[in-house]
Chain A
Amino acid sequence: MAAHLKKRVYEEFTKVVQQQHEDLSAKKLRLTKPSKSAALHVDLCKATSPADALQYLLQFARKPVEVESVEGVVRILLEHYYKENDASVRLKIASLLGLLSKTAGFSPDCIVDDAINTLQNEKSHQVLAQLLDTLLVIGTKLTENPSVRMRLVEVACKHLTDSSHGVRNKCLQLIGCLGPVEKGVAKEAESQAAKDVQKIIGDHFNDQDPRVRTAAIKAMLQLHERGLKLQQAIYGQACKLLADDYEQVRSAAVQLIWVLSQLYPESIVPIPSSNEEIRLVDDAFGKICHMVSDGSWVVRVQAAKLLGSMQQVSSHFLEQTLDKKLMSDLRRKRTAHERAKELYSSGEFSSGRKWGDDAPKEEIDTGAVNLIESGACGAFVHGLEDEMYEVRIAAVEALCMLAQSSPSFAEKCLDFLVDMFNDEIEEVRLQSIHTMRKISNNITLREDQLDTVLAVLEDSSRDIREALHELLCCTNVSTKEGIHLALVELLKNLTKYPTDRESIWKCLKFLGSRHPTLVLPLVPELLSTHPFFDTPEPDMDDPAYIAVLVLIFNAAKSCPTMPALFSDHTFRHYAYLRDSLSHLVPPLRLPGRKLVSSPVSPSITPHEDPSQQFLHQSLERVYNLQHLDPQGIQELLEFTIRDLQRLGELQSELAGMADFTATYLQCQLLLIKALQEKLWNMAAPLYLKQNALASAAAKQILEETYKMEFMYSGVESKQVVIIHHMRLQAKALQLIVTARTARGVEPLFGMCEKFLQEVDSFQRCFISELPRMQGSFVDKLLDLMPRLVTSKPSEVVKILQTTLRQSTFLHLPLPERLYRASANIIEPTGESDNPLRFTSGLVVALDVDATLEHVQDPQGTVKVQVLYPDGQAQLIHPKPADFRNPGPGRHRLITQVYLSHTAWTEPCQIEVRLLLAYNSNRSKATAKVPKSTWNESVEALPQPENGIEGTIPFSKPVKVYIMPKPARR
């Protein structure tokens, strides 16, 4: 075996060598083309006027230049550069030089000197700037060469005194990108220019041209990005730049200040006009806060964004950002937030505002009021009220980041976030809801805040409502009234938008399990039980009632006293819901009743989980029973499959695993059935029926293996081998069936060839896995390979048949986590009896709304299929924008499907379903295999399997009643 393998590997190797030969010849071909540089030279010499020359250069720039001829072209260009009198042509040449040195694979060492020389006698500022740009390109390509970098920086420093802003700009950019970063290098280089890049750049912070100032700050930032530690001394300069007249300067300065604040957070800086001193990060925070009310919105966005990442700032400063002292006629006034808080703490429920409720209270000392704070005061208040929604979003994001790191701040910013729920732009509302969710573990909502939050549940946008449900899932509520309020509002939401059903149930599930003690006193009211009288049994199909039950049952999970309050029918409903909505209703320990599942102590780790154990045990059982009689094996397989399927339904976290194994066993079962000996002993023509069974089985196995390979996320190469192996077996079976039914030998030849190729490619793909497949079909087949290659088709078939029957059943190792891709079409519901009427020949849009779980790359793979009653099928590719990603592993497809048909006499149903498209080319197996070998084998040996594209239906079809009417004339 090993020797055989070695031989195969050797063969591989020779192939690779051949491949390289081909490459070389291709290269030769290219070299025979006429030289570019020569052509260019001729063209440029021909040019009579600068305009002509420019035209030639422009044309030349459109075509790429090969690596080998770059240097030649550069020389030609330089030659012309010196001859040329027209600045525009020189400019173009300079830009071409830059472009050329960018060519991949070309090392511009050789042209550095020439490029620097060109600068010497250049008079035109524009050309100078362009040349410096070229030098920058060269420099960035030669970052490994410090001496070249040093020279370039020197050149740049020399031109810093140029009178044109463009040249100074480029110089600064060059210094920023190439200036020495490491201290050691700076010392080594004795050249004067490189002694202190920071100082040189810093000197241009006060340049007369705003563009140069901006470039200087950017260069400084560039140095920082390259790892140079900026000196703290420039902080003062940067602060002065915040008051610059030009927005781009201010914007860059804000960034610089932020960088410095991250570098020296703990340094102490003096406060001007007083003797006090504060930490640098606090000072910078104050300054950036000040910029949130800048005149330019670009700066405001920049400032608001950066605030979020300043987490070292002291809490005192942080909390000021939400502070805004109100006054009216010089008397202190409380904000609406403060009033709401007071109302709440005084125990009084909001009675509606009266005239003068917000009447100002105490007098303010006029001297103490500071109208323009230099500090952080009210920065977020301003940011959140800004005119531009970009600023508001940035402010909300910053708020989120700061609140995540500071619980006390989170508590304080709550009021403001809640306010943002009513922003006029939906994006901002959505963002603030998400933000709130992210900080929700730090906060507890007050009742009045909850009230405002819940009011948004009536929003007509589904995204908003769902974000809100997500938020409620992880919110802490402080009182039982709060829970009640939330429930009432959610039910209101349910009646208004019945499609939100699932989302609301899920929301209540978490609400219940988080607040068991708050739900407890509400139970009698919610279930409308009465101490003396029996109340009528509620309708079990009412979504609202289910919602209430979901809340209660989840609360009851950690509150053992609750079930005592249930009435009889509640228990019955529990049993029903536990079965039908097992993902929403937890197992409960109910008094006087046998639990459906055995009592589970919460301390059990997933590894000891009995259901998982059960899964493994049943698999063991199957794998061990190799030598049972065929009948016994079949029965055992059938039982195990049934068990596994049920297990998957009950245990949602094991569903993927159970389904996966069940499918595998199903394949095995089909294979065993098809191979039953007695069928094959008969003469072929007599048993057409059995042949049909076998070929159907082969077909189904093929389908199932594709499902196994592409529908599950978390499948590893270990499983992929087994799946491919199973597929190989199915193909062998197909071959055998064909051999028995087909007349003549010719078609068989091709099929055998194909099959053997497949075995070959299988072996190449999974060579590393082969040792583990002792005794399997493929293992035996490979042993017999030399014989197979030489023998006739009929013999091959015979060998295959015996090998198939003798081969052992491969053990399917299970990965850690396995999820089955699933889809659920929420809309259309398929319940409507009213046909969708439209004029035939025209188009009607059908809203499709579906949730997808565990689908990787849904944009590329999920399709919508529409099946018309006449068998016509239509495949629709939804737009990438139609997919939303509400959480990890979950996607949501909200799209419109356009239907059209010719006229029908009466309404009929069409089917809508979702398909998962796959392409075996992109199969995970290929990704695991080293790329080079795979690519080569593709080239060398085009496989029939390659590029097989198919689709797997993975949602239940939904029927939609439609009626295309004939057009009226």
Chain B
Amino acid sequence: AENEQVSPLQNLDVGRSCILVSIAGKNVMLDCGMHMGYNDDRRFPDFSYITQNGRLTDFLDCVIISHFHLDHCGALPYFSEMVGYDGPIYMTHPTKAICPILLEDYRKITVDKKGETNFFTSQMIKDCMKKVVAVHLHQTVQVDEELEIKAYYAGHVLGAAMFQIKVGCESVVYTGDYNMTPDRHLGAAWIDKCRPDLLITESTYATTIRDSKRCRERDFLKKVHETVERGGKVLIPVFALGRAQELCILLETFWERMNLKAPIYFSTGLTEKANHYYKLFITWTNQKIRKTFVQRNMFEFKHIKAFDRAFADNPGPMVVFATPGMLHAGQSLQIFRKWAGNEKNMVIMPGYCVQGTVGHKILSGQRKLEMEGRQIVSSPKWLLIDKACAFHLLLLQLEVKMQVEYMSFSAHADAKGIMQLIRQAEPRNVLLVHGEAKKMEFLKQKIEQEFHVSCYMPANGETTTIFTNPSIPVDISLGLLKRETAIGLLPDVKKPKLMHGTLIMKDNSFRLVSPEQALKELGLAEHQLRFTCRVHIQDPRKEHETVLRVYNHLKGVLKDYSVQHLPDGSITVESILIQATAHSEDQGTKVLLVSWTYQDEELGSYLTSLLKKGLPQSTS
């Protein structure tokens, strides 16, 4: 039995993904993510784990990136340019297009804003991207002679893919992040019944079963609609890519359907570039967008316009998407400060907020926020009228009067979705990554219970070895195959079939050939192996009479075989020869000589046992 080794460099908490798989002697790195929470060395995976000495390129056969989120690709330039890797990197076309934008943005924030040194440069990102090989969905890419990979649609974000890695007959499927329920801009993940030896799946929502998406969408739209109708402003803090596009599509179509006029703005910059790619990669989106793009590309928004700082003070209703998503800095926070004081306005948090951010505070119900700095913005009128508020201002506090809503729009598969994927792919083993240990424990138990497959959940840096039962392919000549299948009944899928042939193991390959050919190839002469057996029968009659009796007896028993009485006094049953002679000492005993070749062993032994029982009392 061969084995596969999986060692996640980083996992077991939602942070960064980087998994090392060695399968049948090939080493593949899956994803190369970074952790947003750290600002030191810990943000990147520990690549020294891979090889203590020696170059990475020599050790790794390829690197695969599942999608463009930084926790899946953030460490890539560091890995390829600073640590040094020159082998191929595989990702889908949209990922290849959007990934550098995000990396560049990340670099800017870290280097330009925070002033860090010893970080990768723009040039490094470019160089790194040159090593990338883009793949299409369902395209089988031959990395080298033995290793092949294939991408499947994963939903989640534009261009997200699941990868099947295959060496010989052993295979691994790595899911990356995926979503089993379609949303407004992407379809659902799908995989065929590829029956991999191992399925490495994310398990972010291992213990959650979510409500239908429709309710959430309807709630969201209703809230926005109501607020806009009564003249309020709606602030939706989002991250630049992914969910933002889904919400845009949602609002855009709703505006179209309901004939609404209030403006929708989107903060500019990063998003515009990304939107461009969304327009291009229509084939990666969901059914509705794919079907209607001939009339109109849904990402060419009619109602959504670019946002300008000055618009925030405009009177009347409006909806603004602003980055970042947790209200901790930047434009979204500025707008929030401006609008927080009016109870007509609303802020909708479409995602999870990290503790300590303004987003988290207001979501947990805090109504008075202490703001750092002097930048408290509020209208002078409000200052004059409301003395209580003036008091708060002195304490550098901001009272949040606007409505605060929470809508979860997450694009990960929930527990049911994970189970569904396992059902689709039918793996022999499952390995959970990218989740919390306690939750994974529950899912692991469920998987083992319901699919009867073994499930693993290794810790960071831990190596899991999985034993597989590889089938070994053997070449067989068509002639032999046809000859053998022609014998007996039709082949049955479920039952193994017995075949006769000679197995030749030569030059690391296996061949099944007919014995004659094997002899010819090996230059050997054919030897015949015969078994001969004597059976004593008590029969006082003459020899030829005995023979006749034996002949009649056999003829009566073996109806399906050709039994012949030869003129020289012997009997043949197929190729088996029977001769009778009188015993030299006792004429009453006849000796039957039965002789058969090795191939007829079955029939021969049957005949002997038959004859040993003696002849039936003569009927004549």
Q: Which residues of A contact B (CB under 8 A)?
A: 161, 163, 206-208, 245, 293, 295, 324-330, 333, 335-337, 352-356, 358, 366, 369-372, 381, 384-389, 416, 419-420, 422-425, 452, 455, 458-461, 496
Q: Does B221 contact A (CB under 8 A)?
A: yes
Given contacts A419-B212, A452-B218, contact A385 B181 (CB under 8 A): yes
Task: Decide: B190 and A352 in contact? CB cutoff 8 A.
Answer: no
Contact residue among B218, B225, B259, B363 (Cβ-Cβ distance under 8 Å from A460): B259
State the CA gap A206–B159 with chains docked (Å). Answer: 39
Contact residue among A355, A372, A386 (Cβ-Cβ distance under 8 Å from B363): A355
User: Can you report 28 residue pairs joining A to B where beta carbons are below 8 Å apart?
Assistant: A208-B493, A295-B193, A324-B211, A325-B209, A326-B209, A327-B209, A328-B207, A328-B208, A329-B207, A329-B208, A333-B211, A335-B211, A335-B215, A336-B212, A336-B215, A337-B215, A353-B219, A354-B404, A371-B209, A371-B419, A371-B446, A387-B286, A389-B288, A416-B212, A419-B218, A422-B218, A422-B221, A424-B288
B residues near A356, Cβ cutoff 8 Å: 364-365, 406
B residues near A354, Cβ cutoff 8 Å: 365, 404, 406
Shortest Cβ gap from A693 to chain B (Å): 57
State the CA gap A452–B420 with chains docked (Å). Answer: 31
A residues near B491, Cβ cutoff 8 Å: 208
Q: Does B216 contact A (CB under 8 A)?
A: yes
State the CA gap A458–B261 with chains docked (Å). Answer: 13
Shortest Cβ gap from A304 to chain B (Å): 16
User: A387-B187, A387-B188 given. 12 additional CB < 8 A pairs?
Assistant: A295-B193, A327-B207, A355-B404, A356-B364, A371-B450, A372-B450, A384-B214, A388-B287, A416-B212, A420-B214, A422-B217, A460-B259
State the CA gap A422–B254 with chains docked (Å). Answer: 9
Chain B residue at minimal CB-CB distance from A371: B419
State the CA gap A235–B286 with chains docked (Å). Answer: 37
B residues near A336, Cβ cutoff 8 Å: 211-212, 215-216, 219
Shortest Cβ gap from A203 to chain B (Å): 9
Contact residue among B182, B257, B363, B423 (Cβ-Cβ distance under 8 Å from A385): B182
Q: Does B256 contact A (CB under 8 A)?
A: yes
A residues near B403, Cβ cutoff 8 Å: 352
Task: Decide: A371 and B416 in contact? CB cutoff 8 A.
Answer: yes
B residues near A371, Cβ cutoff 8 Å: 209, 415-416, 419, 446, 450
Chain A proximity mask over B364-387: 1 for CB below 8 Å, otherwise 0: 110000000000000000000000
Contact residue among B221, B365, B406, B420 (Cβ-Cβ distance under 8 Å from A293): B420
State the CA gap A333–B216 with chains docked (Å). Answer: 15
State the CA gap A455–B218 with chains docked (Å). Answer: 10
Chain B residue at minimal CB-CB distance from A334: B211
B residues near A295, Cβ cutoff 8 Å: 190-193, 424
Q: Which 10 A-B pairs have the closest CB atoms?
A: A336-B215, A387-B182, A419-B214, A355-B363, A371-B419, A458-B258, A387-B188, A330-B207, A355-B406, A460-B259
Contact residue among B221, B258, B288, B406 (Cβ-Cβ distance under 8 Å from A459): B258
Given contacts A420-B214, A455-B222, contact A461 B404 (CB under 8 A): no
Q: Does B213 contact A (CB under 8 A)?
A: yes
Task: Decide: B445 and A206 in contact? CB cutoff 8 A.
Answer: no
Shortest Cβ gap from B243 to chain A (Å): 17
Task: Decide: B182 and A329 in contact? CB cutoff 8 A.
Answer: no
Q: Which residues of B contact A (CB under 8 A)?
A: 181-182, 184, 187-188, 190-193, 207-219, 221-223, 225, 253, 256-259, 286-288, 363-365, 403-406, 415-416, 419-420, 423-424, 439, 442, 445-446, 450, 485, 490-494
Task: Decide: A381 and B212 in contact? CB cutoff 8 A.
Answer: yes
- Where chain A touches its partner, the secondary structure class is loop
B residues near A325, Cβ cutoff 8 Å: 209
Shortest Cβ gap from A947 to chain B (Å): 43
State the CA gap A385–B286 with chains docked (Å). Answer: 13
Chain B residue at minimal CB-CB distance from A352: B403
Given contacts A327-B208, A371-B450, A385-B213, contact A459 B257 (CB under 8 A): yes
B residues near A352, Cβ cutoff 8 Å: 223, 403, 405
Residue of B253, B256, B419 with most partner-chain A CB within 10 A = B419
Residue of B210, B215, B222, B256 with most partner-chain A CB within 10 A = B215
B residues near A458, Cβ cutoff 8 Å: 257-259
Shortest Cβ gap from B75 to chain A (Å): 30
Residue of A355, A370, A371 with most partner-chain B CB within 10 A = A371
B residues near A455, Cβ cutoff 8 Å: 222, 225
Task: Decide: B485 and A163 in contact? CB cutoff 8 A.
Answer: yes
Given contacts A295-B190, A372-B420, contact A389 B209 (CB under 8 A): no
Residue of A207, A384, A387 with most partner-chain B CB within 10 A = A387
State the CA gap A208–B492 with chains docked (Å). Answer: 6
State the CA gap A775–B191 with chains docked (Å). Answer: 84
Shortest Cβ gap from A388 to chain B (Å): 6
B residues near A372, Cβ cutoff 8 Å: 416, 419-420, 423, 450
Chain A residue at minimal CB-CB distance from B226: A352
Shortest Cβ gap from A173 to chain B (Å): 18
State the CA gap A854–B149 with chains docked (Å). Answer: 64
Given contacts A424-B184, A460-B257, contact A366 B442 (CB under 8 A): yes
Chain B residue at minimal CB-CB distance from A464: B257
B residues near A293, Cβ cutoff 8 Å: 420
A residues near B187, Cβ cutoff 8 Å: 387
Shortest Cβ gap from B547 to chain A (Å): 39
B residues near A452, Cβ cutoff 8 Å: 218, 222
Chain A residue at minimal CB-CB distance from B447: A371
Shortest Cβ gap from A412 to chain B (Å): 14
Shortest Cβ gap from A172 to chain B (Å): 14
Residue of A327, A370, A424, A458 with most partner-chain B CB within 10 A = A424
Chain A residue at minimal CB-CB distance from B406: A355
Given contacts A295-B424, A387-B187, contact A422 B364 (CB under 8 A): no
Task: Decide: B493 and A460 in contact? CB cutoff 8 A.
Answer: no
Given contacts A208-B493, A371-B416, A460-B258, contact A355 B364 (CB under 8 A): yes
Shortest Cβ gap from A130 to chain B (Å): 22
Task: Decide: B215 and A324 in contact? CB cutoff 8 A.
Answer: no
Task: Decide: A461 and B257 in contact? CB cutoff 8 A.
Answer: yes
State the CA gap A370–B450 with chains docked (Å). Answer: 9
Chain A residue at minimal CB-CB distance from B253: A424
State the CA gap A419–B187 with chains docked (Å). Answer: 19
State the CA gap A352–B227 with chains docked (Å). Answer: 11
Task: Decide: B207 and A206 in contact? CB cutoff 8 A.
Answer: no
State the CA gap A8–B419 with chains docked (Å). Answer: 84
State the CA gap A469–B346 with chains docked (Å). Answer: 32
A residues near B223, Cβ cutoff 8 Å: 352
Task: Decide: A161 and B490 in contact? CB cutoff 8 A.
Answer: yes
Shortest Cβ gap from B191 to chain A (Å): 8
A residues near B259, Cβ cutoff 8 Å: 458, 460, 496
Contact residue among A245, A355, A386, A425 (Cβ-Cβ distance under 8 Å from B288): A425
Shortest Cβ gap from B48 to chain A (Å): 36
B residues near A324, Cβ cutoff 8 Å: 209, 211-212
Shortest Cβ gap from B39 to chain A (Å): 29
Shortest Cβ gap from B65 to chain A (Å): 25
Shortest Cβ gap from B506 to chain A (Å): 30
A residues near B446, Cβ cutoff 8 Å: 369, 371
Residue of A207, A329, A420, A423 with most partner-chain B CB within 10 A = A329
Chain B residue at minimal CB-CB distance from A163: B485
B residues near A461, Cβ cutoff 8 Å: 257
Contact residue among A206, A381, A424 (Cβ-Cβ distance under 8 Å from B493): A206
Task: Decide: B419 and A330 in contact? CB cutoff 8 A.
Answer: no
Task: Decide: A329 and B439 in contact? CB cutoff 8 A.
Answer: yes
B residues near A384, Cβ cutoff 8 Å: 212, 214
B residues near A460, Cβ cutoff 8 Å: 256-259
Shortest Cβ gap from A485 to chain B (Å): 14
Chain B residue at minimal CB-CB distance from A161: B490
Residue of B221, B259, B494 with most partner-chain A CB within 10 A = B259
Residue of B217, B257, B404, B445 with most partner-chain A CB within 10 A = B257
Shortest Cβ gap from B253 to chain A (Å): 6
Residue of A327, A422, A458 with most partner-chain B CB within 10 A = A422
